[in-house]
Structure 1
């Protein structure tokens, strides 16, 4: 009888551990909402000590502070970049910058 009860408690403990791990994984996935981004392509037109001026093919201009640039090499004039903005917060929603290949 003791062996039977001990076996049931062990199985119950295993099920509880499995549920705990599974529910934590599900919670992590559900909190990671897939964000949508808006991308624009710019050509760097001027570099100053605090940032970069860029212009799109259709004439829209942008200024990006150096502290917000996350590329390995410093950007130079005539570099083509792709700028990613959070779709919901386009004004202050700069997400990342990539060099166009």
Structure 2
């Protein structure tokens, strides 16, 4: 049983060395390896212009916010067709604007968890 474990360990070490050598020869870094979450984030960034705001006032279904650079936003939660009940005054949000259809304006809002 001990010989089998030793052989498996040697094979795994050789496999890691081969993979490392391949990555070194082809100049591949781990950050270049695509992942499911990386692809999702990059495609999301391509579809939207994303701005971060702090909610300063909630008046019924109307939300007011301000960005760090002073840019203000006012949006109506009912028009977005999403549940914004978890967003409170003082929360940070990400506002997603369509890049291709600028007339449509705000597409969705997501609460930022600090």
Q: What displacement does 1:92 show?
A: 2.1
Q: Rate the CA distance shift 1:52–1:84 in 2: closer, same or farther, 3 A.
A: same
Of 61, 82, 92, 2:72 maps to: 61
What do residues 4-32 of structure 1 show as CA deviations (whole Å, max 9, x unaligned)? xxxxxxxxxxxxxxxxxxxxxxxxxxxxx
Of 66, 85, 89, 2:101 maps to: 89
| TM-score, normalised with respect to structure 1 | 0.58
Which has the larger share of helix? 2
CA RMSD of aligned residues (A): 2.1
Task: Choose between structure 1 and 2 for higher RCO, CA contacts under 8 A separated by at least 6 residues.
Answer: 1
Matched, 1:44 2:55: yes
Q: Which has the larger radius of gyration?
A: 1
Q: Is the 8 A contact 1:69 1:97 kept in 2?
A: no
Q: Rate the CA distance shift 1:60–1:46 in 2: closer, same or farther, 3 A.
A: same
| Local SS of the residue matching 1:70 | coil
Q: Where does structure 1 lack aligned partners over 5 or more consecutive residues?
A: 1-33
In the alignment, the residues of structure 1 paired with residue 50 and residue 102 of structure 2 have an alpha-carbon distance, to the nearest angstrom, of: 10
Q: Where does structure 2 lack aligned partners over 5 or more consecutive residues?
A: 1-43
Q: What displacement does 1:91 show?
A: 4.1
Of 74, 77, 80, 2:92 maps to: 80
| TM-score, normalised with respect to structure 2 | 0.52
Q: Is the 8 A contact 2:66 2:73 kept in 1?
A: yes
